Amino acid sequence: MTTKTGIDIFIGIHPKRIKTLQDAEDILRRIKAYESAFKCKAGVLYTQNRSLGGILAITSNEEAREELTKPIRSEPRTHEWGLEFYTRTYFEALREQLRGNNAYPLPEPLTREQYKK
């Protein structure tokens, strides 16, 4: 799926499984395009969907926070909720590591548990 601006927001590989510089740079390019088009900070949100399973998509930091703090209910049933959010900083550090520069540690993704505290 693409946005009105033509940006492909869906990510086909989990961020922790990225092994090539090309994949990291492709996702970073799309995050930057999203930020530019929507005038926001963005990253990749890992969402659980009752029907479709896990979905990885580029979204704004604000939308990610809403999904990560959304209560999960059985009635009325919550169909989708956020699990983890990988900020642009994560992908920048990953790119540097894939270039051989290990001076950039990978930040942990933001999770539902962090917002419960």
Instruction: Please report, for the chain, the start and end positions of each structural domain, with discontinuous segments joined by +.
Output: 15-116
Q: What is the pLDDT of residue 62?
A: 95
Would you write out the chain's pLDDT as a tens digit for each of its 117 residues?
555 678 899 999 999 999 999 999 999 999 999 999 999 999 999 999 888 889 999 999 999 999 999 888 877 777 888 999 999 999 999 999 999 998 889 999 999 888 765
Rounded to 5°, the CA angle 73-10-110 comes to: 55
End-to-end CA gap in the chain: 34
Neighbours of 72 (CB within 10 A): 10
Q: What is the pLDDT of residue 114?
A: 84
